[in-house]
Structure 1
Amino acid sequence: MNTFKIKDNLFWLNDQPIFIQSGEFHYYRTPPEEWRHRLNLLKEAGFNTLASYIPWLWHQLEEDVSDFDGHSHPMRNLEGFLDLADEMGFLIIPRPGPYIMAETTNEGIPPWVFENYPGAAFIDQNNKVQNIASYLHPDFLKCVRKWYQAIFQVLTPRQITYSGKIIMTQLDNEMGMIHWVRNIIDTNPDTIQRFADYIRQSPEINHPERYPKENLEDYLKESILHPDQETDPIILEDYRRFFQGYLEEYAAFLIQEAKLNGMEVPPIINIHGFANGGKTFPIGLSQLIDVMRLPDIISATDVYPCIIGEGNIHELYMVNEMTKALQNPDQALFSIEFQSGGNMDFSNMQSSFYDLHARLCITSGMRAINHYLFFGGENHPVLSRIKRHDWGPPVRKDGSLRQHYHRYGKLSDALAVYGQDLVKAQPQYVTTIGFQLDYFMTEVNNITTQQETKIITHQRERILFDMLARGLTLSHRPFTSVDLDREALDPAQTPVLWTMMEKQCYPETQQKLLDYVKDGGTLIMAGRMCLEDFEHKPCTLLKDDLGITHLEDQPPFQIQDITIFDHQDVPVSFLETYQGDFAEVFAYDDKNAVVGFRVDIGEGNLFMLGAAMPISTLEELDIIETLSNRATVPPLLTMTHWVDARLSIAENGRFLSINNYKDDPVDTVLSYQGQPLFGGNQVHLPARQGAILPLEWQYSEDILIHYATSEIRHIYNEKDALIFETAQPDVTAELTVKGYTCQDANVISEADGRTRVVLDSSTGKIVLKRVPR
């Protein structure tokens, strides 16, 4: 029997690590006679997995009446579709909702749910009934229960545990996303009752100064419907925390019902929030943090960058690292909606984006990608009033191909060549960015919270993303991330930690940071000094231990110039100045007031910069270089001309992933830990292309590839020769072989029956001739 599991940050099929290369196909938008053609296009692109939403509103037009075999419409033949995918050798990831979004009516919920059970509808803070449900309303849960009883009759026997091909199942879709996008707060009586119960069961917030003992439900509803600037910021903040647990309860219900109906494969939840280049993505992480920590949950991201270049790659790395810090520790990074659309026939999208984005995420440790949406199609009126469903995917609705389709097969070829060695390779890091997830708990707002949300949004975007993440990314200092509020800090494991600080911080986190420094860690903070906890109670542990006797904030959003290290007139915002006994001052304003300082505490030290300084010039990047060098954080790689380069290491070799985002080709010489790579030879990358290059790769017992300056795309095992075909015609490679001669190569040395050779080829081939025995 086949098996599928997660462990050691990998996905395993039959006890072998696997890279899941998946494409999303909506069978209900394409006639059945064309299904095989579309799935063949996936196979030709090198994909091994198929994913699809299963729309509840499409398969149950009436309550308790289902069609999964196509008797009412051929495109409802879900059973036939899944069996065809199985026959063609695909692994399968079904996504049966209940919510699917996917540009469908009611986000995929059948209209009869609201017609038959109007009390289950979401009622917003304007007393307006929305076309979505209150997740935990008993009537909605009753309908979902019956939907799962029906759909899992189709899915359960097709799981890998039943000799089928279903390896994971996504439950619901982007829980809480609609609430964030529409900025809606639920005042359905059922939800208000649950909110009141949450407050009553939370002694830290349930006190007379905050909430009345009598008529709490009425008080909460009235406060949400008619917010008051003096009292209601706390109410909305408490609502956000309540809703984290609310979503957890909903997800737990779905998992329980799926298992009761036979689900044995791991459940997936997908994380929304990707906007503004990814800077809003942690809002989804904040909403779903309690869901992500449910047992055996696999978390998967939804990412839609639309562009990729030196100006936004730091955002993509930060999204990946924050997700890894919070997800199930056994799983690999996984994106269930990895943008493959948006490339309309006449648009500004570049076909290179899709390949470069995938390469960036693979070098971050992503080992499962579902390219969404891979095919265009048409909507039946039941699904949507809009017939055309074509958002620029690789395959048009008529089955013709857009240009970016042809990029997928090339990357799949390289993944197949490097195989399990690349899958098991672990990204290398030199430092860590810490974050506080509560800084992103801003998904819903009203007049009482808008200003604070505006401020914290500015700080997390300008500091956490555009200063820390961007500075470290552009200076080739790959970083991992850590949740400061939930994880321990050990200077032995994390010798240098960067973080953004704002006015609020938990007492436990403040103390944790202080202990980290006292135990020998180096902490680099930017932002404003914390003065209270998230309950708005004064808390100045950090301020007091740093010896700050006075601080002064400048007006928010006002640009001012500072001097920092050797750089003058550096523009910053949210300036804060300090007085105290500091070991060193490295930044000051135009009045010589202290903006940046260093203090030594115990065995470690702390650098504080009281400003938001996004990296936009080489001058600002040099400031990050200086801070890094002062903190003893050298770059992982150096090079003569800039490319995005990352190193991953496995038992059988190393892999250097390099991306050129420029519109011009680049030639560069790279070094690792001061030693030249690739024999000191230049690596050439055409414009807007990437490469995965092997280093000390033990391809087999008789073949060690010390390096190759071009990506290996194919390996042909012929009768008398083994041929490695590379992406570029010009390639320099160095190998040690036994039982082979290398055509046109120069011999460097011979020992113990092994020959070390170097080859300069202009044919894009490394030809190893077998020596007759």
Structure 2
Amino acid sequence: MIGVQLDNEIGMLSWVSNSPDLTEHVLEDFAGWLQRKYDAGTLGRRYPFKLDRKEEREQAVRSPREEYAAALLHDLGYYMRHRFAKYVAELRKYAEQSGVTGIPFLVNIHGTGNGRGKTYPIGISQLYESYTQAPGYLSGSDIYFGDLNMDTFQDLYLINGFMDAVHLPDQPLASLEFNCGDGNFGETYGSRYDPSAVDFKTRMCIAQGNRLLNFYLFSGGYNYRMDQKLGDGNDRIAFTGERHGFAAPVGPDGDLNYTYPRMARVNKTVMAVADKLAVMDEERDAVAYGFIPDYYMTEYKYPHSTVMKDIVTNLEANRNAGAWDIMARAMLLAGYRFGSVDVQNKPIDPQQTPVIALPSARYMHAHIQRKLVAYMEAGGGLLLYGEVPLYDMEGAPCTILADAFGVKPTRTLRDGGHYYLSLCAEGWAAPRPEIRAYYAQTFDHGKTQPLLRVYDTREVCAFEAAVGDGKAIVIASAYRCDIPLFRTALERLGAKAELQHDCRDHGIFMTSTATEDGERFLHLLNLDGFDKEIRLYDRGAPLLEGRPFVLSSKDGVMLPLDITYHGVKIVYSTAEIAQVSEDELAFRLTQAEDVIALETDRRIAASDAYSVRQDGSTVYIISKKHAKVDDRLVIRFAS
């Protein structure tokens, strides 16, 4: 694939420094944008100053007063989305005028940091209008997670889902900066990744539909000195010293570091079946994760504004934190396979998306609250985690959702000092041990069914409510990652996890992909450092004919189900496909005794490496090799 990246991480520097471009030219353009967006009366009520007076405009926007700070917080964010989109379109025009046509124009999205993805949706919020404004654009992520483990695995899954939620139909997922090094960026050996890091991230991205992964940096190099002295301390073309990319799998001198073999293995595995993966989509259960782009439009806030601080602080506390580390993590560990839905800008239909799991803050647009009420009234199920909204996004009272639930929020309790906030379960959530929590939003719960109460005051902080033909389950407190609780809640709303395993230790990520013809891959990751023996089930039926499967520590597998190559149907296999040719199938073994079940009329050549057993139409290949001794098995077919 050939593509042109139009710029790099547009808007990122302004965000991370909280320094929006507020030059004279930009503020003049901003004033014009406001005048086009609002009628004169509305604009006068929002901004009590003269937009056409240069000095007054500059003072009012650069040092806003509290009376219009909330309006400015959002209008400035909306304007910057518009401005970035115009800039990207202009760059594309220059490229096309220079003869660059017929290829995708790439826009890379910034935001991962400190080994997490929680700020990554800020980049989506800033740039999604840039790459969805017309056909021909392709967005790409920057993946700087370090290890993919029990702390972080839900982050990558969620941000892939959020990107997909705002994409146009012809825009597949892609990653333009897929970090593949060992983490030793400062040459201190203080941040070294496990060999599974690239393997796991590659497998998850491929399972979710990524069609492009651009490794960065794959190989290092040298920064030469400039012919003309710069007087900047090193006179080199870059500021990273004599070398760059010393954490890359291929170092500046061509030496391979310890991450290279595992990275090479997963790449060979993916490329061996690339023709199948390229036309597969992730199979999903009847639930989607709700995405509100404006919850992440927090990149600019005036440091002296209490109004802006209150809104941004509450959004930051509720948009991911517990919603990612508790609700999303519990959903994935329970086996749920889910995409995301943009509840702000796109229709939500219970026929297409029966259940939505939604992080919710104290602030939420009135039109989103109305949309969610209509969705439930039409039969949709809503799992809301965080706070029931009390205000719209600019701080005006707005309790549309609360009114639909039939509750009245009363107060917010917080753990602290000598107050040990504790929660007790009741209704279908009971019996459960009393737990500690750091906050709880409480309600006069009306006719709803209480699920959690504050221990000493008996105030309700979680409930189930009927809304029209649908229902909501609201958890307005910091609860624990109780997998059975979230599974029960989702099932009561109408979403069942069809893919299951029986490992009590959890720590397994799993999903599946399929073609329109029913060819499938089962994707499994063991996020922990110990082996796990499991049995797998799909819609209640055992997979692999009920055989126990050992998922090795920190290993990932992509198991074929009903995959056909050259007249050979792989019904299932405990080994993953490593190479395909007309006369051979090569596998990476994973078990002490792997089993490969085939349906074929072709004659299988005898081998000392495996035995062959026929049972009806199925031919079983039983490996005689232990995977930990020799993990390569080649099945040959007689011509």
TM-score, normalised via structure 1 length: 0.73
Asked if the contact 1:244/1:288 (under 8 Å) is kept, the reply is yes
* 1:274 partner amino acid: T
Cα separation, 1, equivalents of 2:74 and 2:349: 31
Aligned pairs (5 A) from 1:30-179: 91=1, 167-179=2-14
What's 1:333 paired with? 173
* 1:621 partner amino acid: I
What's 1:739 paired with? 602
Post-superposition Cα deviations, 1:194-216, rounded to whole Å, max 9, x if no partner, equal 12222222216512452323654
Cα separation, 1, equivalents of 2:624 and 2:496: 35
Displacement of 1:280: 0.4
Are positions 1:374 and 2:218 aligned together? yes
Q: 1:726 aligns with which of 573, 588, 597?
A: 588
Moved more, 674-683 or 176-185: 674-683
What's 1:316 paired with? 156
What's 2:624 paired with? 761
What's 2:327 paired with? 468
Say if 1:572 and 1:182 are closer, same or farther in 2 by CA, change over 3 A. same
Cα separation, 2, equivalents of 1:342 and 1:724: 29
Cα separation, 1, equivalents of 2:396 and 2:309: 20
Superposed CA RMSD? 2.3
* 2:512 partner amino acid: L
SS in 1 for 2:402: helix
* 1:610 partner amino acid: A
Aligned pairs (5 A) from 1:543-554: 543-554=402-413
What's 1:396 paired with? 251
Q: 1:654 aligns with which of 520, 524, 527?
A: 520
* 1:362 partner amino acid: I
Asked if the contact 1:683/1:710 (under 8 Å) is kept, the reply is no
Are positions 1:447 and 2:285 aligned together? no
Post-superposition Cα deviations, 1:552-602, rounded to whole Å, max 9, x if no partner, equal 233598972212322243233441111143241111112111111222122
Cα separation, 1, equivalents of 2:605 and 2:447: 63
Displacement of 1:231: 4.3
May I ask how many residue pairs the two structures share in their alignment?
595
Aligned pairs (5 A) from 1:382-531: 383-387=237-241, 388-430=243-285, 431-445=287-301, 446-448=303-305, 449-531=308-390
Cα separation, 1, equivalents of 2:571 and 2:634: 13
Cα separation, 2, equivalents of 1:358 and 1:403: 17
What's 1:569 paired with? 434
What's 1:273 paired with? 111
Cα separation, 2, equivalents of 1:391 and 1:482: 39
Cα separation, 2, equivalents of 1:177 and 1:403: 32
Say if 1:440 and 1:670 are closer, same or farther in 2 by CA, change over 3 A. same
What's 1:293 paired with? 132
Q: 1:284 aligns with which of 103, 109, 123?
A: 123
Are positions 1:211 and 2:43 aligned together? no
Cα separation, 2, equivalents of 1:559 and 1:397: 55
Moved more, 674-683 or 606-615: 606-615
SS in 1 for 2:320: helix
Percent of counterpart pairs with the same letter? 25
Cα separation, 1, equivalents of 2:180 and 2:521: 25
Cα separation, 2, equivalents of 1:537 and 1:458: 20
Asked if the contact 1:243/1:287 (under 8 Å) is kept, the reply is yes
Say if 1:755 and 1:549 are closer, same or farther in 2 by CA, change over 3 A. closer
Moved more, 349-358 or 636-645: 636-645
Say if 1:524 and 1:745 are closer, same or farther in 2 by CA, change over 3 A. same
Are positions 1:712 and 2:577 aligned together? yes
What's 1:679 paired with? 545
Say if 1:372 and 1:632 are closer, same or farther in 2 by CA, change over 3 A. same
Moved more, 732-741 or 342-351: 342-351
What's 2:229 paired with? none
What's 1:34 paired with? none
* 2:247 partner amino acid: G
Cα separation, 2, equivalents of 1:340 and 1:657: 20
Are positions 1:770 and 2:629 aligned together? no
Say if 1:405 and 1:206 are closer, same or farther in 2 by CA, change over 3 A. same
SS in 1 for 2:316: helix
Say if 1:227 and 1:614 are closer, same or farther in 2 by CA, change over 3 A. farther
What's 2:447 paired with? 582
What's 1:71 paired with? none
Displacement of 1:227: 4.6
Cα separation, 1, equivalents of 2:345 and 2:211: 25
What's 2:498 paired with? 636
What's 2:232 paired with? none
SS in 2 for 1:242: helix
Cα separation, 2, equivalents of 1:467 and 1:400: 41
Cα separation, 2, equivalents of 1:199 and 1:504: 23
SS in 1 for 2:44: coil
SS in 2 for 1:262: coil
Displacement of 1:175: 0.5
TM-score, normalised via structure 2 length: 0.88
Are positions 1:532 and 2:364 aligned together? no
Asked if the contact 1:659/1:689 (under 8 Å) is kept, the reply is yes
Post-superposition Cα deviations, 1:603-640, rounded to whole Å, max 9, x if no partner, equal 1111122223352xxxx223212212322322232223
Displacement of 1:438: 0.8
Say if 1:536 and 1:725 are closer, same or farther in 2 by CA, change over 3 A. closer
* Structure 2 spans left out of the alignment, 5+ residues: 225-234
What's 1:232 paired with? 69
Cα separation, 2, equivalents of 1:755 and 1:607: 47
Asked if the contact 1:421/1:652 (under 8 Å) is kept, the reply is no
Q: 2:96 aligns with which of 225, 239, 259?
A: 259
Post-superposition Cα deviations, 1:698-718, rounded to whole Å, max 9, x if no partner, equal 2233x1111110112124655
Say if 1:411 and 1:550 are closer, same or farther in 2 by CA, change over 3 A. closer
Say if 1:188 and 1:686 are closer, same or farther in 2 by CA, change over 3 A. same
Post-superposition Cα deviations, 1:366-413, rounded to whole Å, max 9, x if no partner, equal 121001111112224363244332350111111111121222321222
Say if 1:216 and 1:613 are closer, same or farther in 2 by CA, change over 3 A. farther
* 2:158 partner amino acid: M
Post-superposition Cα deviations, 1:473-511, rounded to whole Å, max 9, x if no partner, equal 111112110111111111111111111222222222111
Say if 1:364 and 1:708 are closer, same or farther in 2 by CA, change over 3 A. same
